[in-house]
Amino acid sequence: MGSFNLSLEDFTLVGFSDWPQLELIFLIFISIFYSLTLCGNTTIIALTQLDLRLKTPMYFFLAHLSFLDLCFTSSTVPQLLINLSRVDQTISYAGCIAQLFIALLLGGTECVLLVVMAFDRYAAVCHPLHYTTIMHPVLCQALAMSSWVAAFLNSLIQTGLFMTIPLCGHHLNHFFCEMIVLLKLACENKAGTEANLFVAGALILVCPVALILGTYAHIAHAVLKIKSRAGRRKALGTCGSHLVVVSLFYGSAMYTYLQPVHRYSGSEGKFAALFYTIITPMLNPLIYTLRNKDVKGALSKVLGKGRE
């Protein structure tokens, strides 16, 4: 009887106010990281549009990944920067629900897209002679669209389930409206709702990881059959960047979402969220370009024209 429902009131985002002495440092570094994320991912998208050598399925999906990273980090980081500057540490209920839906949509789309990118690498390594036939532009468009549709349905279900929960409290120990933190405010029926959301989260995380691991098992088998060392190095090079991105993204996401709510640590969770909302989107362009001759060549070509 002592519970009260504040679900329609503003939420207070605690953010990193637990460490007031570090807020200025966080503000400076996160501003820099956000700027690098915007610059790096925008560059990838621009290069895939400007250079004909990058008009391939691999770079088509890479441009989609960069667009997702831009949107995903922009759905949370501006709110965090406002929070750190102490201008406003509140967010409305409607704003929180919208942020939750968008974060789940974009995160879920990236989960599925990384599976699609693994399939693309499988086709390139295991069926090189039929690669262009298999990865037809129409199929590429359909796979990209399917990623958005699957994530939209998942986000709609999870957000809808959450909105049925009465909440008791308005202080969120986080810098954005993340599902697992919001669930800690649930007044009643927490176990049933938590179980439903855990299943939904597991489907969008565990199933893609299983598909990616299965795909790379086939790729590894195909690579072992390649006799030349140069051929193996080239095949592994096309897959190495994707595996690093998969490890970074899924590692931090699974740590956050595949654990019971009562075991979730707000402090550890905030740093894990920093990793997949800021660090990974910033690193992705670097991971895909540092060892990629095509992208570096396209960048040099564009910069060269700019100097003329």
Q: What's the CATH code of the domain at 245? A: 1.20.1070.10
Q: List pLDDT tens digits, range 239-257.
A: 777 888 888 888 888 887 7
Is 6 inside a domain boundary? no
* 114 falls within a domain: yes
Structure tokens given for 48: 């895939």
What's the pLDDT score for residue 190? 64
pLDDT for residue 4 is more than 90: no
What tokens does 240 get?
A: 């190495």
Domain of 28, in residue numbers = 11-307
Number of domains in the chain: 1
**Quick check: is 197 in a domain?**
yes
Q: Domain for residue 3, yes or no?
A: no
128 against 116, higher pLDDT: 116
Domain presence at residue 281? yes
Q: What is the pTM of this model?
A: 0.86
Q: How confident is the model at residue 8 (pLDDT cuts 50, 70, 90)?
A: low
pLDDT score for 1: 38
Buried b / exposed e along 29-38 (16+ C-beta atoms within 10 A): ebeebbebbb
Tell me what the pLDDT averaged over the chain comes to. 83
The answer to whether the beta carbons of residues 44 and 122 sit under 8 Å apart is: no
Place 3 in a pLDDT band, splitting at 50, 70 and 90.
very low
Q: Which pLDDT belongs to residue 269?
A: 80
